[in-house]
């Protein structure tokens, strides 16, 4: 592979090593002729090295995040609801009999119950009072594949909701959370019908949990079911037990539009973007490079000190802008023909963090990561062509949130650039 590139920009970074009067102690020339060594920074536009951009989604599911997101017309766009399933009710309790001995009681009565939902108050978009409601789900659903449109959407099996959005539900109850009071949990009392129904060990103790306060978004980390249990041994005793969460996810609408040439990561399911590199091995400029080393200049692994890709952030879609830090990773694509399921190589950067403002008010921020070894292999004249030439940009955690992190694509202002730091030398004559 050999490409000839006209370089977009160059900066002369380090001056040459000057000659001595008779010989240079740094010379590697057998006749004592010294070399002038300079380091030049070269920046290539996308058109000189890029071979395409493609984004793929479908990595992970909302259930992998470990919390749920609720929204009601947030930013005039986003609706999101939680789907929750609890474990079975206890079948026995331990109580003390009339003699004071601790015994097991298997003839128990469920007197009352309440749902407790723990909010992530630190990520609240506003300070105020939020209102919520819970409804019992009557239709089977799959935690790993449920979406706004489908209760089950796995390979070969798609079952739509009776009405999109996990409708209908039977109302269980409602509750509120006032952040001004320092509260961080919502409590909703179980109605008698739900309490009786969920006692059955074969029941599907699942519910839909909604925020009903408009233009709000809130995250919840956990749900519990607290029960008041009566004893047949001591009818004056009430034992409080908690039923743990079995599984949770959330469904939302609308789904983000296709990126259409934009470099995108994040979301749930998560997006990744891949792009190919065809780095030129012959440079015909700029003038400063040609003055020192002559042109055309052949780029070799030995001359390449550093190579990095420079991307610029762009404003993410409304309602999908990050609320917290964005964790990025970049890796080589080992089998491009197998995309989007291609295995990836080791990380170039390990982990890189950008603040949420980089994808909102401060969009246009540069993000640079090194790919020196990767580019050296591409310009190596002895390479056999089996080296990876495609890079994937992805989130360190997939998925982490529904938020999207986007970077300018090849046809936008701030398109990707390849920055090269090259060491060149030229013999100089004696004076």
pLDDT in tens, 293-314: 788 889 999 999 999 999 999 9
Q: 92-118 burial string, b = 16+ CB within 10 Å, else e? A: ebebeeeeeeeeebeebebeebbbebe
Residue 14 reports pLDDT greater than 60: no
Helical segments of 245-309, H only: 287-293
Residues 351/327, Cβ–Cβ less than 8 Å: yes
Q: Are strands 390-395 and 206-211 parallel, antiparallel or unpaired?
A: unpaired
Residue found by looking up tokens 């798609």 in the block: 158
CB 249, CB 68: distance < 8 Å:
yes
Whether residue 39 contacts residue 13, with contact meaning beta carbons closer than 8 Å, is answered with: yes
Choose among 368, 378, 386: nearest CA to 277: 378
Q: Which residues of 179-234 form beta strands (DSSP E)?
A: 185-189, 206-211, 216-231
Q: What is the mean pLDDT of the chain?
A: 88
pLDDT digits (tens, 9 = 90+) for 95-128: 988 888 899 999 999 999 999 999 998 877 777 8
Residue 426, pLDDT score: 58
Tokens of 80: 């999101």
Instruction: Cis check for the bond before 296: say yes or no (omega within 30 of 0).
Output: yes
Cβ atoms of 5 and 48 closer than 8 Å: yes
pLDDT in tens, 258-287: 888 899 999 999 999 999 999 999 988 777
Per-residue pLDDT for 152 more than 80?
A: yes
Domains of the chain: 44-59+256-422 (2.60.120), 78-253 (no CATH)
Across the range 20-46, mean pLDDT stands at 61
373-to-202, 248, 346, 377 alpha-carbon distances in Å: 58, 43, 12, 6
pLDDT band (50, 70, 90) for residue 5:
low
Residue 166's contacts (CB-CB under 8 Å, 6 or more residues apart) are: 81, 83, 137, 139, 141, 146, 148, 151, 208, 251
| CA-CA-CA-CA dihedral for 120, 58, 355, 363, to nearest 10 | -130
Token output for 307: 């190579």
pLDDT reported for residue 99: 86
Q: Which residue has the higher pLDDT, 373 or 385?
A: 373
Distance between CA atoms of residues 2 and 408, nearest Å: 27
Model-level pTM? Answer: 0.85
């Amino acid at each position: 592979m050999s490409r000839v590139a006209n370089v977009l920009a160059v900066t002369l970074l380090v001056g040459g090593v000057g000659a001595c009067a008779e010989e240079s102690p740094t010379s590697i020339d057998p006749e004592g002729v010294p070399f002038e060594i300079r380091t030049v920074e070269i920046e290539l536009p996308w058109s000189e090295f890029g071979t395409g951009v493609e984004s793929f989604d479908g990595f992970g599911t909302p259930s992998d995040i470990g919390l749920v997101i609720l929204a009601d017309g947030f930013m005039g766009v986003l609706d999101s609801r939680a789907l929750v399933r609890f474990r079975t009710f206890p079948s026995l309790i331990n109580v003390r009999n009339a003699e004071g001995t601790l015994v097991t009681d298997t003839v128990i009565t469920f007197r009352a119950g309440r749902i407790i939902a723990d909010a992530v108050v630190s990520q609240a978009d506003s300070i105020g009072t939020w209102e919520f409601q819970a409804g019992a789900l009557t239709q089977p659903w799959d935690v790993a594949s449920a979406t706004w449109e489908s209760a089950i959407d796995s390979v070969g099996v798609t079952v739509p909701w009776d009405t999109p959005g996990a409708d209908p539900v039977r109302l269980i109850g409602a509750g509120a959370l006032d952040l001004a009071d320092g509260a961080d949990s919502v409590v909703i009392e179980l109605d008698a019908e739900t309490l009786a129904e969920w006692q059955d060990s074969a029941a599907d103790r699942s519910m839909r949990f909604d925020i009903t306060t408009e233009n709000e978004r809130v995250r919840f980390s956990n749900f519990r079911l607290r029960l008041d249990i009566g004893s047949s041994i001591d009818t004056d005793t009430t034992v409080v037990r908690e039923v743990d969460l079995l599984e949770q996810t959330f469904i939302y609408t609308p789904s983000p539009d296709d990126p259409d040439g934009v470099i995108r990561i994040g979301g749930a399911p998560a997006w990744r973007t891949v792009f190919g590199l065809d780095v030129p091995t012959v440079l015909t400029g700029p003038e400063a490079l040609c003055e020192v080393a002559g042109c055309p200049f052949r780029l070799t692994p030995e001359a390449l000190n550093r190579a990095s890709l420079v991307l610029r952030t762009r404003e993410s879609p409304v309602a999908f802008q990050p609320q917290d830090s964005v964790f990025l990773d970049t890796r080589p694509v080992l089998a491009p023909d197998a995309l989007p399921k291609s295995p990836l190589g080791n990380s170039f950067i390990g982990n890189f963090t950008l603040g949420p403002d980089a994808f909102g008010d401060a969009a246009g921020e540069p993000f640079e990561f090194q790919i020196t070894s990767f580019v050296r292999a591409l310009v190596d004249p002895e390479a056999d062509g089996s080296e990876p030439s495609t890079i994937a940009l992805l989130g360190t955690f997939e998925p982490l949130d529904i938020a999207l992190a986007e970077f300018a694509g090849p046809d936008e202002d701030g398109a990707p650039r390849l920055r090269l730091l090259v060491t060149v030398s030229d013999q100089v004559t004696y004076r």
